[in-house]
Structure 1
């Protein structure tokens, strides 16, 4: 039983890495099978609907990872501003340590491609972003921010984090992420003061 679940995990991990590094379109099932070193039958056994189903599982896995990181970071910091700084700072360090080529779950490889490929993938990505916005806005609301300001700050946070990550990966330099960490922390503190 453990061997079978390992095969499924290997397939998902390999697919997530390849989707992230080369995109959904450029990643074929035969490449996933070869690089995961699993039998062809395993992929079709676990993902009978093929690549789209596998991508949905990868999206959910990335989402759970990021949500756990958010919860952990918020529980370890007194304010949302401090938590966001900590979250983005550690993202910058992990990105640098991966050599700017590792699988970084926060960068949503599927979201842009998914909007053109499949309604199922697009809806899954929409739900993920909505969940991330909700957890950030919820923290701000607990600290007394008004609802509109909290929602706007959450959207800004995700937009800046994603943008900074793209620039950091492109330039192979974590300065954009470190800069975003500082600015976002300041934005959160401004939103908290208005509440």
Structure 2
């Protein structure tokens, strides 16, 4: 039972440090010290720092998906939920003081990312893409596949780009502007 607590402490500590200061700037010794565990305990649960990174990304992906689902649950499918996605991102950005997307930060920080970690990032992106496509299909049914794919990609790129610009500018303005662009795009459907 105590070891389960140690694993959770390790993961909580590493998650906070990876997000706050970056993966490369976070050392194993810092994680061990701040989690209050022995080095052997860390390696018992996570054979490497990369394994810990993969678990962090998995945990973050599942957490963000649950947060998004809860945020959007009472909204009407289609346009309202699609715009709600951008509102969710805006609130998430503000609550994290515009520190940026955990997935994009790791991808930029580690261009040679291992396949397990990269899979978590790709799965996160694919879940966003699927959500956008589902909402577009509610708005326009039938939606020709080529047009659906193109519009989905455009809305996903706007979503990610506004998140990145919000991070670099430390501002809500890029996401607010993007919501206006999305409204105009949706009006063409």
Fold shared, TM-score > 0.5 on shorter chain? yes
Question: 1: CA distance between counterparts of 2:155 and 2:9?
Answer: 32
Secondary structure (helix, strand or coil) at the match of 2:73 reads helix
Counterpart selection for 2:126 from 120, 125, 130: 130
In 2, Cα distance between the equivalents of 1:104 and 1:122?
Answer: 15
Q: How far does residue 74 in structure 1 lie from its aligned partner after superposition? A: 4.5
Structure 1 residue runs of 4+, over 6 Å off?
none
> RMSD value over aligned CA atoms?
2.7
Q: Structure 2: state its 5+ residue gaps.
A: none
Inter-partner Cα distance in structure 1 for 2:174 and 2:68: 20
1:76 aligns with 2:86: no
Equivalence for 1:33:
32
**Residues matched between the structures, number:** 187
In 2, Cα distance between the equivalents of 1:121 and 1:61? 11
Deviation at 1:15, TM superposition (A): 2.0
Match of 2:136 among 137, 140, 151: 140
Q: Where in structure 2 are the equivalents of 1:1-195 lying within 5 Å?
A: 1=1, 3-48=2-47, 50-101=48-99, 105=102, 107-143=103-139, 144=141, 145-190=143-188, 193=189
Structure 1: segments with no counterpart, 5+ residues: none
Shift of 1:73: 4.3
Equivalents in 2 of 1:64, 1:127: separation in Å?
10
**How much has 1:104 moved relative to structure 2?**
5.2
| TM-score normalised per structure 1 | 0.78
Distance in 2 between the 1:134 and 1:112 partners? 23
Aligned with 1:116: secondary structure? coil
The structure-2 alpha-carbon separation of the partners of 1:55 and 1:140, relative to structure 1 and needing over 3 Å to count, comes to same
Residue 153 of structure 1, CA deviation: 2.8
